[in-house]
Amino acid sequence: MARSNYQFNKRQKELARKKKKAEKRQSRLEKSTAQPDDASIESQDVEEDSSL
């Protein structure tokens, strides 16, 4: 009977977990950098409307 390669499976699982965490972190950074740009555009629109 073949033995399961515990170390290999553990390493693969760990790498998958790290990859997912990195992707999640990257998407959060992209989201946080995109929000101030949108907010600044909206605030400019409000300032222009109030000056009229």
- At residue 1 the predicted structure's pLDDT band, cuts being 50, 70 and 90, is confident
C-alpha to C-alpha distance for 43 and 48, rounded to whole angstroms: 9
> Whole-structure pTM over 0.75, yes or no?
no
pLDDT digit string, tens, across residues 7-46:
999 999 999 999 999 999 999 999 998 876 555 555 566 6
C-alpha to C-alpha distance for 26 and 22, rounded to whole angstroms: 6
C-alpha to C-alpha distance for 10 and 49, rounded to whole angstroms: 59
C-alpha to C-alpha distance for 44 and 37, rounded to whole angstroms: 11
**∠ Cα 42 45 27 (to 5°):** 20
